[in-house]
Amino acid sequence: MSVAVVTDSTAYLPAELVDAYGLTVVPLTVVLNGAEGLEGVEFFPADAARALREKRARVSTSRPAPEVFARTYRRLLADGAQAVVSVHLSADLSGTYDAAVLAAAEVGDERVTVVDTRLIGMGVGFPAMAAAALAADGADHEQVRQAALDAAARTEVYFYVDTLEFLRRGGRINAATALVGTALSVKPILQLADGVIAQRDKVRTASRGVARLADLAVTAAGAGPVDIAVHHLDAPERAELLRTELETRLGEGLQALYVTEVGAVAAAHAGPGLASVVIHRHA
């Protein structure tokens, strides 16, 4: 068995890609109105969207326990993996990376390393896939780890939300809140900048938000080739508009395009109506 690649549920990888690349996915925990469950296992996008539309709903999230990661690493090594590379969302957005680092220390095997992509969504998924693809070709531990880091460096994440309220509640937009003041009615275009959420632009309508996401994606893609992921929460029509626009404008430079609905963890902080685009440039 080659180097095993682990990621977490906030990569929002389509199930067929998880299978095709032989990835191991560790789910985060979600609490909806007091009921606790695993993202993508017990709670799904529709559950989060429904809860978030209820004004009195209580939605929170938590990282996997270090013991969960430790068990996963030990199992993979016991099953014959030469090493394990664990690829996760930004440490500034979640304690997941820290939990994985603690687990690696607990396992006490230098063959286990953890990568902070500084991203979320398929911003994590693309690096995990790149690492797994190289592992399948027989690359060693360090080469696989570096592949994840290199892929993350070629990846950008932009997203639109209908309201900043959910991000404000979760404490994820201190900097962005300072920029827009108390004008929570402003609909922002946000981006992941060195692992944290930062404001990129402001729009007044959802349609302008989707159009701006497409413009940013085309600019980030450059001459291509690129892979694109379009994420949404309870907004399939926005995702379809983005997909159609990007296919038209990027043409042959677009190598692959995936459309997925985000899970409960991202949903808890972004809210229904989220639209996001992730641009991964090929090496």
pLDDT of residue 133: 98
pLDDT-derived band at 172, boundaries 50, 70, 90: low
Q: What is the DSSP letter of 194?
A: T
pLDDT of residue 1: 67
Asked if 127 and 47 touch (Cβ cutoff 8 Å), the reply is no
d(CA 165, CA 179): 14
pLDDT of residue 13: 96
Per-residue pLDDT at 279 exceeds 70: yes
Q: What is the DSSP letter of 61?
A: E
Residues 224-248 have pLDDT tens digits of 899 999 999 989 999 999 999 999 9
Four-residue CA torsion sign, 53, 7, 105, 79: positive
d(CA 163, CA 273): 9
Classify domain 4-28+63-153 by CATH number. Answer: 3.40.50.10170
Which of 3.40.50.1970, 3.30.1180.10, 3.40.1350.10, 3.60.20.10 is the CATH number of 155-281? 3.30.1180.10
Q: Please tell me the least confidently modeled range out of 19-28, 48-57, 73-82, 141-150.
A: 48-57
Asked if 24 and 41 touch (Cβ cutoff 8 Å), the reply is no
> What length does the chain have?
283
Mean pLDDT value across residues 158-175 = 71
CA 273 to chain centre: 17
pLDDT of residue 31: 85
pLDDT of residue 45: 77
Mean pLDDT value across residues 33-37 = 83
Asked if 45 and 263 touch (Cβ cutoff 8 Å), the reply is yes
Alpha helices in the chain (DSSP H): 15-21, 45-52, 66-78, 96-107, 122-136, 141-153, 165-169, 174-180, 206-221, 236-250, 264-270
Domain spans, the chain: 4-28+63-153, 155-281
